[in-house]
Amino acid sequence: MAIIEKLTVKTYIMKKILTIVLLIAAVQLNAQQKKAAFTFGSGILFLGTGDVLAISFENEISYKFNHYVSSSAILSYGRGDNGSYQSTSFIQGNFNVYLSPFRNNKKNNFKLGTGFSIMNVANTRYYVYDCGNVPHDQLRSKIFEKRNSTGFNIIFEDTYSVNDYFLIGLKLFIQPYTNGDINSGITLKAGIVF
């Protein structure tokens, strides 16, 4: 009887140890799922109401909460020229939330996003006056305009995981702002998953 009780106790202890080991292994496997990514992107956009074509560069860090929801923070910079007498540059910060209707745990991840945007735009215009024989560089007038605005983002994005660590993607977006500006553009991006 004592031997049976010892075997029962040993079996009970072994079951508990096995359960703990399996739980630790499950936690480790879950922890190894890569949930964050850092991407760099470049693209073109129509700044304002489409009057300035600009080239933009962005850095993005994103985090996946589950198989359907993720978020990102983006810092971007861009510059555009309209002829030799005008230049426009901007810096922009965005915070977005994405929904992946087809799940984001596959190689291909299509997602729809929206979020908050803040933008600082600087425009420089040069006016040249024609006054007969006076050189043009003496008759240039420079006007500098600067504005800040807040708005929101509407994003359609598709990313593809090349392997466990690298991804590429394409993003289409529209950004209406409270001052009447509406940005729209396309960005090609690549990054690492960690």
pLDDT in tens, 116-164: 999 999 888 777 666 666 655 556 677 888 889 999 999 999 999 999 8
This prediction has a pTM of: 0.77
Across 22-36, 69-83, 118-132, 157-171, which has the greatest mean pLDDT?
157-171
User: ∠ CA 91-94-99 to the nearest 5 degrees?
Assistant: 150
Residue with the larger pLDDT of the pair 22 and 43? 43
Q: Are 191 and 161 in contact (CB under 8 A)?
A: no
Instruction: Provide the token pair at 141.
Output: 């007038």
Q: What is the pLDDT of residue 10?
A: 67
- Mean pLDDT in the chain? 84
Q: Which residue has the tokens 């489409």?
A: 50
- SS3 of 4, please? helix
Helix residue ranges, H only, the chain: 2-31
Instruction: Provide the token pair at 159.
Output: 């990313």
Residue 13 CA: distances (Å) to CA of 7, 27, 43: 10, 21, 61
- How far is the C-alpha of 58 from the C-alpha of 78, rounded, in Å? 9
What are the backbone angles phi and psi of residue 138, rounded to the nearest 5°? -90, -10
Query: What b-and-e string marks burial along 141-150, b requiring 16 or more CB atoms within 10 Å of the CB?
Result: eeeeeeeebe
Rg (the chain; Cα; Å) = 27
Residue with the larger pLDDT of the pair 143 and 109? 109
Q: Are 178 and 150 in contact (CB under 8 A)?
A: yes
pLDDT tens for 42-55 read 999 998 766 788 99
- How far is the C-alpha of 171 from the C-alpha of 125, rounded, in Å? 31
Instruction: Provide the token pair at 184.
Output: 């729209």
In this model, does residue 71 exceed pLDDT 80? Answer: yes
